[in-house]
Amino acid sequence: MTLLITHGTIVTATDLYRGDVFIEGEKITTIGTALAMQADRVIDATGKYLLPGGVDVHTHLDMPFGGTTSADDFESGTIAAAHGGTTTIVDFAIQYKGQTLHHAWETWAKKAAGKAAIDYGFHMIITDLSDQVEQEMDALVRQGITSFKLFMAYPGVFMLDDASIFQALLRTGTNGGTICMHAENGGVIDVLVKRALAEGKTAPKYHALTRPARAEAEATHRAIALAEMADVPIYIVHLSAAEALEMVAEARDRGLPAFAETCPQYLFLSYDNYEEPGFEGARYVMSPPLRPKETQDRLWRGLAFNDLQAISTDHCPFCMKEQKTIGVGDFSKIPNGAPGIETRMSLVYDGGVRPGRISLNRFVELTATSPAKIFGLFPRKGTIAPGSDADIVVFDPEKKVRLAAKTLHMRVDYNPYEGREVTGAADIVVSRGRVIVDGGTFTGRAGGGSFLKRSTR
């Protein structure tokens, strides 16, 4: 199969120019002006941007949490991602206590096989670190699972102590892997949660009020300090608080390889959402929680000036019906997470590029190039170049979309941005040379995505 996309404006992290892209099989082979190749299909992209397919390095599909399972599996979740212009995800496989990492990988590989419609990799969540598990880390890195996520929160479930965290960091110094950190002080949060419940404070907003910004900042600082002592890079996931961003900025100013992502929910939603009537605040129960509205400007500045290097989604949807409602009468039982895999590119384009907070190049860098580089997928993913995978989004900068749970494709009964109109959306989406979304219709197939073996730093 050959595909020729003509008359588009090609956007990468560094370039912006009018050009044609020729695709043979799964790869981009030629880029030029007025290409005269014959192709099986020609797409006229006049007036459109050609963007590298989005790379979302933080998703939780088919993930058990708090007695239920995230509502999107690898089929519905990756189809929704494709509609939104994302062609690569890195999801999290979870090692539960007493299990091997290999068992966790097998379990998640089965969840994805035959279902994923776009390419995917895995980070490995480590909850139990032994000598044997450290050896397994080396083996996984060789097999293309080159990043590990550790938790400083959820004591008794996911949390590791500082000694284990330090051990794991040291190990990446020799195997070339990267540690991703959920940075919140879980011990402090647990005490605050117990105290709130004892005082009869059970509404959803107390989820946020028991997870202070300083608990995130403290853990962010500690994570970076541990990585500094281990002399390895570190990547902070879903950074939400201005106080935590200060810790990353301070470290980067000292020249440390500290990296961090934020997510659209922290850029477009705020603590005020928890004050919505009744149990509605449960829609926004996620960790870390939404922060005061003033934080948004700080995060945008962090994105513009490279103290934050990526925008991912932390997509982890739970329906209000029968899932979020587990926590009626006890906010600590509300499943943590919200949908976002489909709306990332449009939200960030509309709220970031259009008002001039970030440039078009920076938009591509934050949503594709930089995460691909940090997680060993570049230049196969994250750019438009000869030899790269033909993952391309024909993006219509003028297309208006009203975000609504009913018309989006995520398998969840609400949307945190319900009713918000965004300008700028994917029109055609190409994944490894195949058109998988064509004018709003999914034309790919479940199982069309492949496991991505990622490289080391």
Q: Which residues bind Zn ion (CB under 5 A)?
A: 314
Q: Which is nearer to Zn ion, 288 or 424 (CB)?
A: 288
Q: Which is nearer to Zn ion, 6 or 287 (CB)?
A: 287
Minimum CB–partner distance for residue 263 and Zn ion (Å): 9
In sequence order, which ranges of 388-436 are alpha helices (DSSP H)?
A: none
Q: Which is nearer to Zn ion, 307 or 314 (CB)?
A: 314
Which residues touch 342 (CB under 8 Å, ≥6 apart)?
Answer: 80, 81, 83, 84, 86, 408, 409, 410
* Tokens standing for residue 55: 């790379």
The strand order across the sheet containing 234-236 reads 54-59, 86-94, 119-125, 147-151, 178-182, 234-236, 258-262, 310-311
Q: Which is nearer to Zn ion, 411 or 432 (CB)?
A: 411
Q: Which is nearer to Zn ion, 60 or 454 (CB)?
A: 60
Minimum CB–partner distance for residue 265 and Zn ion (Å): 11
Helix, strand or coil, per DSSP, at residue 114: coil
d(CA 285, CA 66): 13
Q: State the residue number with the nearest CB to Zn ion.
A: 314
In degrees to the nearest 10, what's the CA dihedral of 234, 239, 242, 244? -40
Minimum CB–partner distance for residue 89 and Zn ion (Å): 12
Minimum CB–partner distance for residue 194 and Zn ion (Å): 24
Which residues touch 27 (CB under 8 Å, ≥6 apart)?
Answer: 386, 387, 388, 389, 390, 433
| Spatial contact of 422 and 395, defined as CB atoms under 8 Å apart | no
* Tokens standing for residue 362: 């920076």
Q: Which is nearer to Zn ion, 314 or 391 (CB)?
A: 314
Minimum CB–partner distance for residue 125 and Zn ion (Å): 9
Q: Which is nearer to Zn ion, 49 or 158 (CB)?
A: 158
Say whether the peptide bond before residue 292 is cis (omega within 30 degrees of 0).
Answer: no
Minimum CB–partner distance for residue 213 and Zn ion (Å): 18
Minimum CB–partner distance for residue 63 and Zn ion (Å): 9
